[in-house]
Amino acid sequence: MPLDWFDSDSRKRFEDKGYRCLQDLLALKEGVPVSRARTRSCRRLQLGGVTYYLKTQDLREASLPLRKWASYILHSSPILREARSYPLLQALRIRTPILAATGHIPGLLWPRAALLLTREVPGHVDLAHFSGPPERARAWAKALRRLIRDTHDKGFVFGGVRFRNFLVPREGSPSPEKIVVLDQPRFGRSRSPRLRRRDLRYLDSDLALLLGEEEPL
């Protein structure tokens, strides 16, 4: 199956290494595992001095739990939903990683396999692993809250805000414009008060955990 490439430099790097189709990348074993579940995995690898994150989901030999059937039938694989969220976020002038490639193997009810390849954002760290002083963490959380509220005002919700899904620069003053958003398969149009409250509740919960506090702020 062919890949949909969005970055010509990345395409050349991978094709020069012999990775020319979806099946090649699904079988890739290079790099360092970042996370792994029963059907999904994420690997970090370097090619030509550039760091990439490769997310894959393979359902060709694994069965999908019954509780997830409705979500996959209605909305497809989370990996493909994440890929679709990037143009929406960028249209709202929200920063995202560079999308290098995506692809999937069609199935009867949902994709039998899916893939998402993005480039690392240099000099950034996710908020869940932020190691600066507490006042700086609070400042970034405040900037993130502004970003979320501005996005809500434009008629969109994230569907759940976790610190691990937001990258911030290691240096520089906190501001919403500097935040990079990733891994948002539920991002979309909605003016639901319940979904808006959930976005902000998750943010407060993660900030409390980061600062070692018992109650969300």
For 36-75, the DSSP string reads: E-SSEEEEEEEETTEEEEEEEEE-SSSPPPGGGHHHHHHH
Examine the pLDDT at 85 and tell me if it is beyond 90. yes
Three-state DSSP class for 200?
A: helix
Every domain of the chain with CATH number 3.30.200.20 lies at 4-119
| pLDDT tens-digit readout, 90-126 | 999 999 999 999 999 999 999 999 999 999 999 999 9
Euclidean distance between CA atoms 90 and 181, whole angstroms: 10
pLDDT above 70 covers a percentage of the chain that reads 98
pLDDT of residue 216: 46
Every domain of the chain with CATH number 1.10.510.10 lies at 124-211
Euclidean distance between CA atoms 126 and 182, whole angstroms: 10
Yes or no: domain 4-119 corresponds to CATH 3.30.200.20: yes
Examine the pLDDT at 215 and tell me if it is beyond 80. no
pLDDT of residue 213: 65
The whole-model pTM stands at 0.91
**Average pLDDT, rounded, for the chain:** 92
Examine the pLDDT at 137 and tell me if it is beyond 80. yes
Residue 161's Cα: distance from chain center in Å? 11
Examine the pLDDT at 61 and tell me if it is beyond 90. no
Closest to 56 in 3D by CA, of 29, 95, 16, 75: 29
Number of Cβ within a 10 Å radius of residue 106: 9
Give the CATH H-level superfamily of domain 124-211: Transferase(Phosphotransferase) domain 1 (1.10.510.10)
pLDDT of residue 214: 52
Under the banding of pLDDT at 50, 70 and 90, the label for residue 217 is very low
